[in-house]
Amino acid sequence: DACARKNKTESGEYVNRPSLVFEAFKVFQQELDTRHDKYERLVKLNRDVTIESKRTIFLLHRVTSVPNVEEVLNEADVRLDGVRLKIGHIAEELGEDDLYQFHKAFMSGIQEYVEAVSFHHFIRHRTLISLEEINARLVFMRDETMETK
């Protein structure tokens, strides 16, 4: 084994003992595996957020061709609440970790959500939604995200 030191025992046999470098690399491997697993979970959540946000946008495009606009808007509200909960799961998954280490894993879904919320708000109120309003919808209490798991 290239990474192990060979030491003689009292009987003259060689015994492999892992070196400190090898042990350090095992720790690094575990840290990297943990980080990659988290990244993959975030990518999966992001995919769900993106898909449901796009479906909501497609639903909202039907507003001009349906007799009951309010019914479509209410269905979009329900879908956006579901997306919001998935974003809550992303926030929970991130925990105290540095947001910028993982932002590529989930940012496209957040952008799609903002587009869906903006479109919904515009159809309902005929005004643009403010950044503060969007941010206020994305403040989560711990119980909110835990309920849907």
pLDDT per residue over 93-125, tens digit each?
998 888 899 999 999 999 999 999 999 999 999
Residues written for the chain: 149
| 12-21, 29-38, 89-98, 128-137: the lowest-pLDDT one | 12-21
pLDDT at 6: 57
Confidence of residue 21 (pLDDT cuts 50, 70, 90): confident
Cα separations in angstroms, 116 against 71, 92, 110, 123: 17, 22, 10, 11
In CATH terms, 33-147 corresponds, of 3.90.245.10, 3.40.50.80, 1.20.58.190, 3.20.20.80, to 1.20.58.190
Contact 112, 55 (CB under 8 A): no
Contact 112, 49 (CB under 8 A): yes
Is residue 68 scored above 90 in pLDDT? yes
Distance CA 23, CA 16 (A): 13
- Binding positions for Mg(2+) are 115
- Binding positions are 115
